[in-house]
Amino acid sequence: MADVTASGLLADIADVGRDRTRGGYSRHVFDTAELDLREWFAGEARRRGLDLEQDRNGNLWAWWGGPGPDAVVTGSHLDSVPGGGAFDGPLGVVSALSAVDIMRERGVTPAKPLAVVVFGEEEGGRFGVPCLGSRLSTGSLPAEKALRLRDPDGVTFADAARRSGLDPERIGADPELVGRIGRFVELHVEQGRGLVDLGGPVAVGSTVIAHGRWRLTFAGQGNHAGATPMDDRRDPMLPAAETVAAVRRIAASAPATRATVGRLAPNPGGTNVIASTVDVWLDARGPDVPSVVRDVEAAARAAAEAEGCTVELREESWSDEVVFDPALRDELSAELGDVPALPTGAGHDAAVLSAHVPAAMLYVRNPTGVSHAPEEFAEASDVDAGAEALATVLARLSR
Ligand code: GLV
Ligand code: MN
Ligand code: MN
Ligand code: MN
């Protein structure tokens, strides 16, 4: 049996996927770093005598006891956003492995099957749709749509999956697999300051904000930066820039809304070139998102027309607000001694699964309150407290 703590396991993988250019980590589904971590995970599963399987959508499952039914499942993801932190994703995976060790040290043998899962492409950092692995398995994203998704190099998900040994024909809803899950618990680094303010190491999740992603494509006339007079331009960068400012303005006046443009791509992207098109990605979250997006679209259209450009808006993903299973949440809180319940503005595989099985989350304190950036952090003592807490709830749920 492996004899390492969750913080020790995290230290073992601290160098995988470091992004020397952006800082932090960049690990995207089926890239070298993510595949290295999958291999590392397989080794850790083997070391613990767990049975490893890759499902038809590329998610990894390490089973303690034969697969399902009524299994207790825990885990998270190993991919990151571009230039992300060390904890978002991997913390839930190392804590799950460590929880298996802790349960064994405590002499706990689960009466129900228990699995540690690694979901693919949780961040949507490569193909644009977050929680791709869990959405595919649960059928909330149709396979035909997923297979056509393209990464920034133009590689389709179908091709990337094929190159990683998956059969594109079999990608899609997997009711037999999802039907094995009795309850799901994901441990995650907190992505805000809730636990810092409350002064505790661990919380349970209460709700996940409604959220979605859109792409706006502005089109104008590509041209020469020096030879084109200022009054004879149709430059799509203008409406793109005005839309970025409009997003901030519109979101600021809508209640409980968070809207972000974190990615913008002029094509072809040359210093001395007026762009012919510009893609702008919008991430919008909160109860009023439909009206916020309508207002953003109207502002984008007005700005595009004023510059003689066009704009097209496409939805890339949508997730309704999630309230985690209250009974399961109460069970976790009771077992852990009345830990606080926290809402989150971040999306998670647990939220996708919650439409199908009772799901819950545990958060571990992040002293910086920063996430999706290199400053994301958790103290080793809190990481290990999180794994202990996870072991405690898994022991109870698998009785
Ligand atoms: C994923 O972490 C997200 O909420 O964007
Ligand atoms: Mn994330
Ligand atoms: Mn995450
Ligand atoms: Mn997430």
Ligand 1 atom closest to 371 (CA): 2
Q: Are residues 88 and 191 in the same domain?
A: yes
* pTM of the predicted protein model: 0.97
pLDDT digits (tens, 9 = 90+) for 113-127: 999 999 999 999 999
Q: Are residues 240 and 296 in the same domain?
A: yes
Q: Is residue 393 part of a domain?
A: yes
Ligand 1, closest atom to CA 211? Answer: 4
User: Per 3-state DSSP, what percentage of the chain is helix, strand, and coil (rounded to 5)?
Assistant: 35, 25, 40
Ligand nearest to the CA of 189: 3
Centre of ligand 4 to C-alpha 140, Å, is 17
Can you tell me the distance from the alpha carbon of 67 to that of 360, in angstroms, rounded to the nearest whole number? 20
pLDDT tens figures, 253-263: 999 999 999 99
> Ligand 1 centre from 191 Cα, in Å?
9
Q: Does the annotation list 188 as a binding residue?
A: yes
* Residue 279 assigned ligand-binding role: no
211 annotated as ligand-binding: no
Q: Give the distance (Å) from ligand 2 centre to CA of residue 372.
A: 6
Q: Tell me: pLDDT of 68 over 90.
A: no
| CA of 345, closest atom in ligand 1 | 4
> Are 217 and 252 found together in one domain?
yes
Residue 374 falls within a domain, yes or no? yes
DSSP state of 50: P
Same domain, 283 and 267: yes
Judge if 118 and 146 occupy the same domain: yes
In the structure, which protein residues have their CB atom closer than 6 angstroms to any atom of ligand 1? 123, 130, 346-347
Considering the domain architecture, whether residues 63 and 162 belong to the same structural domain is answered as yes
Q: Which ligand does the CA of 319 lie closest to? A: 1
Q: Which of 254, 288, 319 is the last residue of a domain?
A: 319
Residues 34 and 157 in one domain: yes
Q: Quote the CA–CA distance of 389 and 367 in Å, as a whole number.
A: 19
372 annotated to a ligand binding site: yes
- CATH number, domain of 166, equals 3.40.630.10
User: 149 and 29: one domain?
Assistant: yes
Same domain, 221 and 100: no
Which residue, 253, 285, 319, sits at the end of a domain? Answer: 319
Asked whether residue 1 is assigned to any structural domain, the reply reads no
The CATH number covering residue 225 comes to 3.30.70.360
Q: What is the pLDDT of residue 1?
A: 40
User: Are 122 and 79 contacting, i.e. CB atoms less than 8 angstroms apart?
Assistant: yes
Residue 82 belongs to domain spanning: 6-209+321-397
35 and 158 fall within a common domain? yes
Q: What is the ipTM of this complex?
A: 0.95
* Band (67; pLDDT cuts 50, 70, 90): confident
Element (H, E) at 263: strand 258-267
Are residues 173 and 37 both part of a single domain?
yes
Shared-domain flag, residues 264 and 284: yes
pLDDT tens-digit series, residues 274-300: 999 999 999 999 999 999 999 999 999
Distance from the alpha carbon of residue 309 to the mean position of ligand 4, in angstroms: 35
**Which residues neighbour 227 within 8 Å (Cβ) at sequence distance 6 or greater?**
none
- Is 95 within a domain? yes
Q: Is residue 328 part of a domain?
A: yes
- Total domains in the chain come to 2
